[in-house]
Amino acid sequence: MKMRILVSLILTAVLCLPASAAFQLDSRYQDTDGDLIADIPAEPADQVDPSTLIFAYTPVEDPAVYVDMWKEFLDHLSEVTGKPVQFFPVQSNAAQIEAMRAGRLHIAGVNTGSNPLAVACAGFRPFTMMASDDGTFGYEMEIITYPGSGIEKPEDLKGRVLAFTAETSNSGFKAPSALLKSEFGLERDEDFTPRFSGAHDNSILGVAHKDYDAAAVANSVKARMIDRGLVTEDQLKTIYTSQTFPTTGFGVAYNLTPELQEKIKEAFFSFDWKGTKLLEEFSKSGDTKFIPITFKDDWAVIRQIDDANGVTYTCN
């Protein structure tokens, strides 16, 4: 697999930590093979085979946007697994992770920054992400402002209001926090005022309407919003673009039966995107298929960012 890379030398230097330095699973899970994700329970009595499968997609925007968009895929998933599938419109990353930890969610697309927490605390087993035809994948974090804000470069954020999305978001909080501190000596609360919008679309709209001086967002979400006409390019100005990060990881709850987990994987990799609403939407950011990934390798940079930010995975 290849990854679209825009190199940031300073970030690389700051994040040169062992990939799994601060990462461990909650005590309720086992990892005997060292792949950093929860093992499927060995005892059949500890495995589950739900009569109805529940699917949730990361709430990077209003979940209502995605209900119809995922229908064709969920119909395919139902056909392959032989089970009805319901779309669960979660309102926050925390709600999504808690639903899986509690056994109410079986299949999910979890945002980049929340993957480590979902793996550690909810037994999430990611195995795929979206990619382009040639197998490249990923998105960049951008810091955006509006024309005429007086902000031309990251240093100009001093004394201004910067919108983050949520503390579990990679591009919406973790990466910009590490980058602004390491590369520009800017710390939230001391050098600029942080605000939390709750979602990338809220941050983007907030900047476009001048509610925030600037915002840290995923450029893949920005591209889709521009394409849908929710904002226009001339309402926004990018002052910083990061290196490329892995995008939403899709996976399953650890305790589904091995046979069901294999059927779910088969559904993802056999889905024909041609002519679907999924292709119509995600091709706007270059995604046209699902490809295999591993949490251990493909999320190493995200765990390193968490290490740099002093993040620990505490499961309640």
Architecture of the CATH domain 139-244: 3-Layer(aba) Sandwich (3.40)
Stated pTM of the model: 0.78
Domain ranges of the chain: 44-136+246-309, 139-244
Q: Pick the closest to residue 129 from 111, 153, 143, 148 (CA basis).
A: 111
In which element (H, E) is residue 109 found? Answer: strand 107-110
Question: Do the domains at 44-136+246-309 and 139-244 have one common CATH topology?
Answer: yes
Contact 168, 94 (CB under 8 A): yes
**What beta strand segments (E) does 58-118 contain?**
85-87, 107-110
pLDDT of residue 185: 94
Q: Pick the closest to residue 311 from 75, 1, 94, 24 (CA basis).
A: 24
The SS3 assignment for 249 reads: strand
Domain 44-136+246-309: CATH superfamily is Periplasmic binding protein-like II (3.40.190.10)
pLDDT of residue 22: 56
pLDDT of residue 3: 40
pLDDT of residue 307: 83
Q: Mean pLDDT in each 10-residue stretch from start to end of the chain (316 residues)?
A: 33 37 85 97 97 93 82 98 96 93 97 94 98 91 97 97 93 92 93 96 97 96 92 97 92 98 98 96 92 94 85 80
Q: Pick the closest to residue 34 from 275, 309, 294 (CA basis).
A: 294
The SS3 assignment for 101 reads: helix
